[in-house]
Amino acid sequence: MKYFTKEWYELCQKTSFHFSLEEEKQAKIFSEEYFQQLYSIKLNDWLDLQQQFASHIEKSETVGRDCIQHEIFNKEKAIEQFHESFIYSQEYIKESLPERILKGIADIRVFVLDKASRNVIKAVTKFCEDNRKSVNKTSREYRKYYKKALKFLDENIVKNIRFHDCVIINSNQKDKSLILSLDNRGGFTNIDEVVFENYNIVKQEGSLENSWWRYNEIYKVNDKYELHVLLINKTGDLIEFIISAEHIAFNCNKNN
């Protein structure tokens, strides 16, 4: 990848930390009492939301006079889920924010519960906005390249490669072709099969199966199409896949 690299993708994830933050004077200093109060409030809000959601699901499963009887809302499980998410968020914030900002946060637990001092919010906002500018700059640079590339690439091929959020469910080699089967239900296309003819895999960092298609770039190298794809698997690992082919074809399931 030349534009939508792993580093670029990770930067994309660091552009919105400030959205949910609310200024709170008590967040300026460490207070176990304040944290416990805040945690209790947030937990109860979460439980109410989950219970409302479960109630909605239960109603939707009622058919005529028959109701599917099973326990949907489990309070203890919901409490555990909230706590696990709370712990994960702390670790993610520690890994994502620069040390200079982390040093200004009195209690990381309070921060992940969306409360912070004015100075911290200002610092986090600037950090996120700077990241957003870098992300957008890269996107603009690729669009500029893409516009020029259309002059020497087959427009039908280029415009059909829009598989963001599709899932690769199978890869199959047949003769001199590589066929990728896609689950396109979460994407923006009705194409469910991509065929790379007379191909060569330039780079593949992991298994393609069950990976989400995130971003791609396309080039013409030595009279062949070279497709660069950034994927993410079920465990959250980023996978870079680069394939060169003389031609790229597309198939569409008539049932879609």
pLDDT digit string (tens) for 99-111? 999 999 999 999 9
> Which of 65-69, 108-112, 240-244 is least confident?
65-69
Strand partners, 213: 231
Q: How does pLDDT run across 133-143, given as a tens digit for each residue?
A: 999 999 999 99
**pLDDT band at 172, cuts 50/70/90?**
very high
Mean predicted confidence (pLDDT) in 50-60: 71
Radius of gyration of the chain (CA): 24
Residues contacting residue 123 through CB under 8 Å, at least 6 positions apart: 100, 101, 104
Q: Against a cut of 0.75, is the pTM above it?
A: yes
Q: How does pLDDT run across 148-163, given as a tens digit for each residue?
A: 888 889 988 998 999 9
Q: What Cα–Cα distance (Å) separates residue 109 from each residue in 31, 46, 105, 165?
A: 11, 16, 9, 32
Place of tokens 């176990």: 32
- Read off the amino acid at residue 161: I
Strand partners, 23: 116
Instruction: Give the per-residue pLDDT at 163.
Output: 96
pLDDT score of 70 more than 90: no
Domain ranges of the chain: 6-133, 155-251
Mean predicted confidence (pLDDT) in 206-227: 95
Which one is predicted more confidently, 148 or 73?
148
Q: What is the DSSP letter of 157?
A: H
Q: How does pLDDT run across 193-215, given as a tens digit for each residue?
A: 999 999 999 999 999 999 999 99
Q: How does pLDDT run across 20-53, given as a tens digit for each residue?
A: 999 999 999 999 999 999 999 999 999 998 888 7
